[in-house]
Amino acid sequence: MIVKKNLTNENSKECFGITNLTSDGKFIPFFDYDNVSLSRIIDELSFIQKNYFLSDVYIIKSNNGYNALTLDKVSWDNLLQIMRESERVDNKFKKLAIERRFFVLRLGNDKKIINILKEQYLYFRYQKSLSHALALNCFYNTDIDINLSFDDNTIMRMYLYKSAKDGYLKVME
């Protein structure tokens, strides 16, 4: 596990998030939605999934909105194209990620996977991230089938930062 620290807001709590970086310089598409209905999120993610030939998309509910991710590893340029078409994704989330050159999803006690948009294609367009699959299995009790479409990397890059939201810091100590 690699932990990067960002402690800029002293009024907030420390929490962990997973980054979308992979060991081979690719990125996992992460999405963050605030004040958007689940039906609109599903519509947008289904459109993105179809247009970019993405595999399963995991939708996570928290007390503050919704997150989503797929386990496909894409280039930075491809990720930026996906984000441009993700009109309902929180703009602050996008802006901060572009400044850092990686995205972060907070791991939280308040989060639960509520929906999986199953892939619509029978072939694998992208290699998938094993470390991100293992993180989903660990933190959200999923049972992702690990197969030949996954890489063999088990290193997860985590990010320690300040947030007003609760995170898994106590679990990681």
- Residue 148 amino acid letter: L
- Full DSSP string of 121-146: -SS-SS-B-HHHHHHHHHHH------
pLDDT along the chain (173 residues), means of 10: 45 79 96 96 97 95 93 97 96 92 86 92 84 91 89 88 55 37
Say if CB 130 and CB 151 are below 8 A apart: yes
Say if CB 72 and CB 55 are below 8 A apart: yes
> What angle do the packed helices 76-85 and 91-100 form, to 10 degrees?
170
In order of start, what are the domains of the chain with their CATH numbers? 2-164 (3.90.920)
